[in-house]
Structure 1
Amino acid sequence: MNLNNLENLKDELKALGFPKKLAEDMEKNMQNNVPEFQLRHNLPADKGQVDMQLHFRQSGQSDYYYFNKYSVTLNNAKPLEADQKYLVISPGDQGKPVFRKFDSPHEAISYFKQQKGNSELASGKDVGHKTTLATMENDKVNFVAKDFQKTFYSPAVTQNVYVEKGQGFSAEQSINLIQGRSVYRDDLLNLGGQPYKAWIKLDFDQAKDRFDNFKAKQFHDPSYGFDLKAVLDKYNIKELADPKQREKLEESLKNGNRPLITTVKDGQEVKLRIEAVPRYGQVNMFQENGKPEKREQFQVAVKNDPLLEKGKNTQKHLSQSRGVKV
């Protein structure tokens, strides 16, 4: 095993925000000289679960490994408890069932649908402690649990994310992109190799490209005109008064998160979640349970604010955006 290669790959995973456990699993595969392998990671989404699969490949001429992409899948299934898995169970010889475990509902459903004869899709710790989600009889699905039907019949949302030497969209950014939010990159390069900055958002309204990826919209900074600092200053947000808290808030928004803020509603201090929406030159606000709030009620009263007018009219004057490879 090339120890320099191992160290570099560990640094890349860390830079992209993947947990230490994945680096440990990667090292085990490299020690065993596995020519090609995948590592899996999943996290809860606003609605459902995000599954990530990291792809590693060994060079055909040496023991050097490459990590050039990972895939992100958004499922609307409720995340399982820590000790549970998805199980696809089929009859085995001598009446003993055979089963296969999955972390991802998307992969479990896909595998279940490929079965022949009789089969069962379940969740639980093991076959003896399971909850049936779907069943198949004589090659046909004959039952899907009511609270699992949306997950079973709705296609998952997927995207491949390309990285190079630890540079690219981080795990945190990709999780937010696949949920429809915008993220900020200050390390992009145009075709001429010149650096630039932009907010990026996946375009779910267009067909995928030939690599089975959604295209992306770019809102260039500063030419597009979305100034996050100026927009935040229009609102009564307690955290803005503390430089360190403000920096943390802005960084979280740039990564596509919906961080908690403190503001005032009906004379009472309340916690809300906030999201950057560069396309419309604004931010959106939500209650902690995800219910939208009208942002205007939290604005600092300023008349004839050109930034406010821009936020209201941006949709009518959207500039064309170029695609970006993710």
Structure 2
Amino acid sequence: MTIDLNDMEMLLSFAQEMADLGYKYAAFNSDDVNNSNTIEFFRDSSGAKEYCLVMTNDADYFESLPIDKLVSDLEALMQSGIDTSVNEAFDLTAFARLDREKREILDNNLNTKKMNQKNLDFLKDQLKYSGFGETLEGVLKQNLEKGDKEFKIAHEAKFGSDDVKAELHFKKSDQSDMYFFNSYKINLQKEGSKDGLEQIFYINKDNNVTMKEAYNLLEGRAVNKDLKNKEGEVYNCWMKMDLKSAADDKGNFKVNIYHQNYGYDLEATLSKYPIKELLNGEHKENLIASLKKGNVQSVNFIIDGNEKKHFIEANPQFKSINVYDGNMGRISNREGKDKKQSESESNSVSKEQKNTIEGDSDSPESVKKNNRKSKSHSI
């Protein structure tokens, strides 16, 4: 449709008024400059089409369009800032097409930005709850904007004197533009050791191993997790890496699983030792939670009424705990248990001594009792 710019505001007002009156279609001469006096309005498409057929000839071609589209195109032209005071012909159809294409591009860009932000937030949460903190947002955002099919991010951490390096792997979905955190390879370089230990951990919806747990596994300790089997059923187990066996073709060590039916009861095992923290409900709960994450935990053993610092870790394979002294020297399980037994025997001996004193015939209390008995017989 070609219109007279000078008549655009009047045409817009007229079209809006006709729409309010229930008219749905506008018909016009495609080969002429149209204004509010030359455009016809109809209540249905059949009337508009019939009008166009009748009016079309060798010199003129008529066509129709929905009135709401005409109003939308005129409003877009008004908002474009074009000078409507000049008296000249303007191709409204071409302008509307370009405007719609521009708006589609803007909408697509906006949708893409929203999608990228949603994807970024999703990946940030994944990294946070996988133990990689919240410092990787910048480099993560840069890689998402590049749009490569896959990318990697390096991350380093230090646990005590041990250096841990991780290589995080991200890949774009084949079905969409969404990126997913698929796996990470962790390398543990122990102080004083030339060769590091490596393992790849895969990111699953419900079976994730955090970076700290991965470090504890490479340290040879056991980690307790709730996992899901192929049928979606949740089960509890202990995981322990077999570092003595050879790694597979991908360089991964075998991970042994001790199912909940294996019969390892950490709380019952701890009760066999004279651990002070077990006497406080909150401290006991924190201790068990830490051991389940695979940590070496500092505790206090009560020995002969005195507190002595020890370190312990879970050992599900042998249904026990590993006990170390304050210098991380290994203490046998029998010795640790003997300390509690010694404490119990000490308490038992104290009771026996009290009973012996009360039953001793030479004690003052015993003499008094005997004298009372003598007087009774005398009477």
| TM-score for both structures, normalised by structure 2 | 0.54
- Asked if structure 1 preserves the Cα contact closer than 8 Å seen for 2:274 and 2:303, the reply is no
1:17 maps to 131
Distance 1:180 1:21, change over 3 A: same
Distance in 2 between residues matched to 1:73 and 1:183, nearest whole Å? 18
* Inter-partner Cα distance in structure 2 for 1:272 and 1:232: 13
Q: 1:228 aligns with which of 260, 263, 266?
A: 266
Mapped to 2, the partners of 1:76 and 1:10 lie a distance apart of 29
Q: Aligned equivalents of 1:167 and 1:7: distance in 2?
A: 20
Please give the residue correspondences for 1:243-322 in structure 2 after superposition, counting only pairs within 5 Å: 243-265=281-303, 267-299=305-337, 300-301=340-341
Contact 1:185–1:200 (Cα < 8 Å) also in 2: yes
Q: CA deviation at 1:23?
A: 3.6
Q: Distance in 2 between matches of 1:297 and 1:27?
A: 55
Q: Which residue of 2 aligns with 1:184?
A: 224
TM-score normalised by the chain length of structure 1: 0.63
Mapped to 2, the partners of 1:77 and 1:205 lie a distance apart of 19
Contact 1:275 1:285 in 2 (8 A): yes
How far apart are the structure 2 equivalents of 1:170 and 1:183?
Answer: 10
2:360 maps to none
Using the TM superposition, give the Cα deviation of residue 260 of structure 1 relative to its aligned residue in structure 2, in angstroms.
1.1
Query: Does residue 210 of the first structure (1) align with residue 210 of the second (2)?
Result: no
Pairing 1:48–2:87 present: no
Structure 1: unaligned runs, 5 residues or longer: 79-149, 303-326
Question: Matches of residues 55-74 of structure 1 in structure 2 within 5 Å?
Answer: 55-59=169-173, 62-74=176-188
Q: Residues of 1 paired with 2:148 and 2:161: CA distance?
A: 35
Q: State the match for 1:119 in structure 2.
A: none
Alpha-carbon distance between aligned partners in 2 of 1:232 and 1:37, rounded to the nearest angstrom: 45
C-alpha distance in 2, partners of 1:62/1:263? 57
**Equivalences for residues 50-199 of structure 1 within 5 A:** 50-59=164-173, 62-77=176-191, 150-151=193-194, 155-165=195-205, 167-189=207-229, 191-199=230-238
Shift of 1:201: 0.7
1:31 Cα offset (Å): 3.6
Contact 2:206 2:228 in 1 (8 A): no
Counterpart code for 1:286: Y
Measured at CA, do residues 76 and 34 of structure 1 come closer, stay the same or move farther in structure 2, by a change above 3 Å? same
Does 1 or 2 have the higher relative contact order (CA < 8 Å, sep 6+)?
A: 1
Using the TM superposition, name which of 20-29 and 177-186 deviates more.
Answer: 20-29
Could you tell me how far 1:56 is from its partner in structure 2? 1.5
Partner Cα distance (2:274, 2:237) in 1: 26
Seen in structure 2, the aligned counterparts of structure 1 residues 288 and 57 have a Cα distance that, compared at 3 Å, is farther
- Residues 48-82 of structure 1, C-alpha deviations (whole Å, 9 max, x = no match): 3222221112345643211110011121246xxxx
Percent of pairs with identical residues: 34
Contact 2:323 2:336 in 1 (8 A): no
The answer to whether the aligner puts 1:3 opposite 2:3 as a matched pair is: no
Residues 184, 197 of structure 1: 8 Å contact kept: yes
Given that residues 223 and 240 in structure 2 are in contact (C-alpha distance below 8 angstroms), is that contact kept between their aligned partners in structure 1?
Answer: yes
Secondary structure, aligned partner of 1:17: helix
Cα distance in structure 1, aligned partners of 2:196 and 2:119? 34
CA distance in 2, matches of 1:77, 1:271: 24
